[in-house]
Amino acid sequence: MSGVGSKVVAITGASGGIGEATALLLAERGAKIVLGARRSDRLEALAGRIAKAGGEAAYIRTDVKRRDDLSGLVGLACARFGKLDVLVNNAGIAPVSPLDDLRVEDWEEMIDINVKGVLYGIAAALPVFRAQGFGHFVNIASTAGHVIKPTVSVYSGTKFAVRAISEGLRQEAGDRLRVTIISPGFVATDLVDSVTNPEVRAQLAASRDRFAIPPDAIARAIAFAIEQPADVDVNEIIIRPAAQG
């Protein structure tokens, strides 16, 4: 079977940006959506938009730094819709800065959210997928997980880690589970707002405003991977603005 219309999809970081765009697109195509993020008010509003358009959505406050929260997200999908087809590990932050700034708390936050958050998602969903005999992880990395540049080294490290973990998971998954890495370039989201160094934030915001692509471009890439027949595993998609160097 192909398509997304029969699938149950859980998304972390669903309250804005790529997560929100993915939820709206997949719901429009008939998927049942389970929304997770820290901003409950925005999740409630998004679930309302999906319902108003004729779709189905559930939501639960989810902080990916808390393993129990990921278990709750996966549990809600199974309790509400009877299964989980896809987990989109999308939540991430990017408070990038020169290493000389010694913003150690920012480094720790990126590791906790960008790496451990993905691992907690895997820990929550993998036993469910094994029991079902099917399942699909879609893990959001970054072009920063392919190219290292000044000020971005720790963020790049977290996204290289996402790619390494995802590839190892793919090799261990067997022929009934699928694993996809999505590596976006500059996307028009509020991710830049998490940058605590003012000079770097201004530079990144200028680049974003000049050539970033909309979040729904990434949503379409995610949908493409999900809608393939069960024996087709789209392993990695790199998607960036044509103007990005």
Would you please indicate which residues are annotated as catalytic (active-site) residues? 155
Tell me the C-alpha to C-alpha distance, in Å, between residue 158 and each of 85, 117, 140, 163. Answer: 26, 11, 11, 9
Strand locations in the chain, DSSP E?
8-11, 32-37, 56-61, 86-89, 135-140, 177-184, 236-239
* Structural contact between residues 170 and 225, judged by C-beta atoms closer than 8 angstroms: no
The C-alpha atoms of residue 224 and residue 149 are separated, in whole angstroms, by 29
Say if residue 79 is exposed, middle or buried (CB neighbours under 10 Å; 0-12, 13-18, 19+): exposed
Please answer whether residues 150 and 135 qualify as being in contact, where contact means their C-beta atoms are separated by less than 8 angstroms: no
Measured in degrees and rounded to the nearest 5, phi and psi for residue 92 equal -170, 160
187, 215 contact by CB (below 8 A): yes
- Token pair, residue 13, equals 């970081």
